[in-house]
A and B are shown apart, each in its own frame.
Chain A
Amino acid sequence: MQTEQTKQQYELNKNLAQMLKGGVIMDVSSPEQARIAEDAGAAAVMALERIPADIRAAGGVSRMSDPQMIRGIQEAVSIPVMAKVRIGHFVEAQILEAIEIDYIDESEVLSPADDRLHIDKSRFRVPFVCGAKNLGEALRRIAEGASMIRTKGEPGTGDVIQAVRHMRAMTSEIRRIQGLQEDELHYAAKELQVPYELLRGVHGSGRLPVVNFAAGGVATPADAALMMQLGAEGVFVGSGIFKSGNPARRAQAIVKAVTNFADPAVLAEISADLGEAMVGINESEIRLLMAERGV
């Protein structure tokens, strides 16, 4: 049951995502990194103890970050601070809500806590962003109460191929839904395993009902602009910045690339002389596919 108040809170949470559009959300693991990100023009930061590349390297169970570490970052910057919880771990989400986090990422980067259920996000006042590989996943997460969607991509690899695949899958499925007749929508909803009402909204508007960002494997200004040209409304950059040779410079360049994503002359200028990019791992070289977690 949605009360007037929870509906209003959901609108405000979607509205915050609207204010992040055209921006870059950067993974940071200390107050110093958070300040570097803010000074570079980040629209928000994601506070986590280990960035995805290190989680991948370390192996083992990966969990919500220490609230004290997150608080340190909240105090260091004026931009919104996000943090990750494990898929289905609603108590980690309760803890982050208690420290007044601005956005929770229910993320496949951490080890899932529930192999069937995601968090019932409609029970929280704090907003959630969730990853999705396709339209079905995106609409299921929105039905559960997510107020922002991002592609899953493949975190911690520096390889953009999966983010591209997920964004293309989403936009081409949206185009297909737009072309259906009203009576075909019921069957499409069954096929995609999504609520009919949400699919009907997509049919009419030609877009998701919430803001949609790109994430996972973005390492260069060109990667960020590629995702924007493919239809992303903003970009998450995880390991790509603080695993590179010159984080401050690369962070600034990616911010400018997202603003000027359709201007090759500007992109050429800002892509020059950035120092070393993160080394990266090709999709085919990795053993753990985080994107397969939580469908």
Chain B
Amino acid sequence: MRIGVLALQGGFAEHIRMLRSLQADTFEIRRREDALGRMDGLVLPGGESTAIGKLLKDLGLFGPLKERIRGGLPTFGTCAGMILLARRISGTDTAYFGAIDIEVKRNAFGRQLGSFFTEAPFKGIGTVPMTFIRAPYIERAAPEVEILSLADGHPVAARQRHVLATACHPELTADSRIHRYFIEQLCAAGAGRRDCLTL
């Protein structure tokens, strides 16, 4: 199992540590060549979505990654990663990969004083610890999108075929079950490939 972690800005080291604890082989994606390498899954970390989005485009990574995600590469985005994966971002005309049919709101719980920790049920896993840092939430989702978790009454985790997105940061907790879910249910199961065949 080989998983690429986008390493342009933000909390990528924490994802790498957690994926390695699950015996996954990981590598950092910083340059165009890295984006073309063999991988069974892709992780888009938390950080600042405007900064990561800008670097993706300037460094020539955006096109190749978008094509691969469209082509069925299992992808997991947390916080800023969720914003990069969303079809729409409230209040702007900008969107990035548009790989999951949701509309997200940036800093939806407010500024840093609105950041919080909670525990909530996550479909298929059980109750998990959740850390929200200036987090977004999902305002609208298409019927094909499966909502996996709610926090404070708002959808904060969702899956559409081979794409998984959470507004919280499982990589900042000691609980690796969401990463395990990504590896087992999306990467190992070849979620994208199978769906591509049935489409």
Q: Which residues from chain A sit less than 8 Å from chain B, CB to CB?
A: 8, 11-13, 15-16, 18-23, 38-44, 74, 78-80, 97, 100-103, 125-127, 252, 255-256, 258-260, 263, 266
With both beta carbons as reference points, the residue of chain B lying nearest to A97 in the complex is identified as: B113
Query: What residues of chain B lie closer than 8 Å to A40, measured between beta carbons?
Result: 54
Q: How far is the CA of A80 from the CA of B9 in the complex (A)?
A: 14
Query: What residues of chain A lie closer than 8 Å to B51, measured between beta carbons?
Result: 23, 41-43, 79, 255
Check A16–B115 contact: CB distance below 8 A. Answer: yes
Check B55–A100 contact: CB distance below 8 A. Answer: no
Q: Closest CB-CB distance, B96 to chain A, in whole Å? A: 14
Query: What residues of chain A lie closer than 8 Å to B133, measured between beta carbons?
Result: 12, 15-16, 19
Q: How far is the CA of A41 from the CA of B10 in the complex (A)?
A: 12
- A41-B50, A79-B48 known; A21-B116 Cβ under 8 A: no
With both beta carbons as reference points, the residue of chain A lying nearest to B57 in the complex is identified as: A41
Query: What residues of chain A lie closer than 8 Å to B176, measured between beta carbons?
Result: none
Q: List 8 A-B contacts (CB under 8 A).
A: A19-B46, A19-B47, A20-B48, A43-B10, A43-B51, A100-B110, A100-B111, A259-B59
Check B111–A19 contact: CB distance below 8 A. Answer: no
B24 within 8 Å of A by Cβ?
Answer: no
Residue of B46, B48, B55, B169 near A256 (CB, 8 A) is B55
Q: Closest CB-CB distance, A227 to chain B, in whole Å? A: 16
Interface 9-mer from B11-19, B69-77, B153-161, B186-194: B11-19
With both beta carbons as reference points, the residue of chain B lying nearest to A79 in the complex is identified as: B48
Q: How far is the CA of A16 from the CA of B46 in the complex (A)?
A: 10
**What per-residue 1/0 map shows which CB atoms of B86-127 lie under 8 Å from chain A?**
000000000000000000001100111101110000000000
Q: How far is the CA of A11 from the CA of B173 in the complex (A)?
A: 10
**What per-residue 1/0 map shows which CB atoms of B40-69 lie under 8 Å from chain A?**
000000111011001100110000000000
Check B112–A127 contact: CB distance below 8 A. Answer: yes
Check A19–B79 contact: CB distance below 8 A. Answer: yes
Query: What residues of chain A lie closer than 8 Å to B115, measured between beta carbons?
Result: 12, 15-16
Query: What residues of chain A lie closer than 8 Å to B14, measured between beta carbons?
Result: 18
Query: What residues of chain A lie closer than 8 Å to B48, measured between beta carbons?
Result: 19-20, 23, 42-44, 79-80
Check A23–B9 contact: CB distance below 8 A. Answer: yes
B162 within 8 Å of A by Cβ?
Answer: no
- A18-B11, A21-B10 known; A102-B111 Cβ under 8 A: yes
With both beta carbons as reference points, the residue of chain A lying nearest to B116 in the complex is identified as: A12
Q: How far is the CA of A14 from the CA of B58 in the complex (A)?
A: 29
Q: Closest CB-CB distance, A259 to chain B, in whole Å? A: 5
Query: What residues of chain B lie closer than 8 Å to A263, measured between beta carbons?
Result: 30-31
Q: How far is the CA of A127 from the CA of B115 in the complex (A)?
A: 11
Query: What residues of chain A lie closer than 8 Å to B59, measured between beta carbons?
Result: 256, 259-260
Residue of B13, B55, B134 near A21 (CB, 8 A) is B13
Most buried by A among B51, B55, B116: B51
Q: Closest CB-CB distance, B35 to chain A, in whole Å? A: 14
Knowing that A21-B9, A41-B54, A43-B51 touch, tell me 15 more A-B residue pairs with CB under 8 angstroms: A12-B115, A13-B112, A15-B133, A19-B80, A19-B133, A21-B11, A39-B50, A39-B54, A42-B48, A43-B9, A80-B48, A103-B112, A127-B112, A256-B59, A263-B31
B39 within 8 Å of A by Cβ?
Answer: no
Most buried by A among B58, B112, B133: B112
Closest 8 pairs (CB-CB, A-B)? A41-B54, A102-B112, A22-B9, A41-B51, A12-B115, A43-B48, A100-B111, A23-B9
Query: What residues of chain B lie closer than 8 Å to A127, measured between beta carbons?
Result: 112
Query: What residues of chain A lie closer than 8 Å to B46, measured between beta carbons?
Result: 19
Q: How far is the CA of A43 from the CA of B48 in the complex (A)?
A: 6
Query: What residues of chain B lie closer than 8 Å to A43, measured between beta carbons?
Result: 9-10, 47-48, 51
Q: How far is the CA of A258 from the CA of B134 in the complex (A)?
A: 23
Check B112–A259 contact: CB distance below 8 A. Answer: no
Q: How far is the CA of A74 from the CA of B110 in the complex (A)?
A: 12
Q: How far is the CA of A110 from the CA of B72 in the complex (A)?
A: 53
Q: How far is the CA of A59 from the CA of B119 in the complex (A)?
A: 51
Q: How far is the CA of A113 from the CA of B137 in the complex (A)?
A: 41
B128 within 8 Å of A by Cβ?
Answer: no
Check B113–A259 contact: CB distance below 8 A. Answer: no
- A23-B47, A41-B50 known; A126-B12 Cβ under 8 A: no
With both beta carbons as reference points, the residue of chain B lying nearest to A41 in the complex is identified as: B54
Q: How far is the CA of A21 from the CA of B111 in the complex (A)?
A: 18
- A22-B47, A79-B51, A263-B31 known; A16-B12 Cβ under 8 A: no
